[in-house]
A = this chain, B = another copy of it.
Amino acid sequence: MRVIFADCSAVYAGRGDTILARAKRALIIKSDGSISIHNDSANKPLNYMKMANMEETINEQGERVWTFDARHESLAVTLHELYSEVEEELVSKADEPGLVASGTEAQLQQWIFQNPHILGEGIMSVQREFPTGNGPVDLLVLTQDLTPIAVEVKRVATLGAADQARRYVESLREVGEVVMPHPVTYEEITVDFSRTIGRIAALDLRPRLLAIAEKRGLDTTQVPAFWRSSYDERE
């Protein structure tokens, strides 16, 4: 990784276009070709690009211009004045142990899959990431009387969660009757997807979401905070 402190300016052209006027900033160039330009506040770089090919040219003022080209975008950085530079070898990508996160939505989803009773008496889990014509729904479960419920899982549920849930329900209701094994007894059963219900399960259900869910006939479940302590990593 190289860190270069320099008076620089930059022009980006790609998904949008940006211009960064001249000032003293830090350029970070990583071994995979990523480049980012930082000033002295916040974590987000002003400009950046990932895995680009760098080329150096000299402009009319005799200044170095580094052009980073990627598929559909490019970033040109002009170095007006260079202050200092340092380079260090960091952990290789292969040896990077990586960040281990807990309390993610994926884990919450798995916990609900393993503890479907929190969604209601006698509810049975069928499948995670169940495909619908409108994208995969987090959880498909069945009530005791074999009514399908499409469950959208969120840590924090805002309006978008109600949009997603409805989108999945709409698609599933078009499916009609499906023959599948009973999730517990494995007997052959017929599930009528035209009766699919939508449900939002979250640790934090925001007020506006509760209001819109009510309006749309979507159920909600507040997941108890203790889920983390009873979370079991096994598949």
Contact = CB atoms under 8 A, between A and B. Distances in A.
Interface centre among A39, A100, A163, A166 (most CB of B within 10 A): A39
A20 B99 contact: yes
A102 interface: yes
Contact of A17 (B19, B47, B101): B101
Q: How many copies does the complex hold?
A: 2
A24 interface: yes
A96 B23 contact: yes
Contact of A32 (B23, B32, B42, B49): B42
A159 B159 CA distance: 15
Interface in A154-203: 155, 159-160, 163-164, 166-167
A230 interface: no
Interface stretch (A57-65, A84-92, A219-227): A84-92
A87 B1 CA distance: 16
Nearest to A3: B3
> DSSP class of A's interface residues: helix, strand, loop or mixed?
mixed
Nearest to A5: B88
Interface in A6-48: 15-26, 28, 30-32, 34, 36, 38-43, 45-48
B84 A88 contact: yes
A36 B163 CA distance: 34
Contacts of A22: 97
Nearest to A26: B1
A30 B44 CA distance: 11
Contacts of A98: 20-21, 46
Given A17-B102, A31-B41, A24 B84 contact: no
A80 to B, nearest CB: 12
A1 to B, nearest CB: 5
A84 B235 CA distance: 43
Interface string A129-155: 000001100000000000000000001
Interface in A63-107: 83-84, 86, 88-93, 95-104
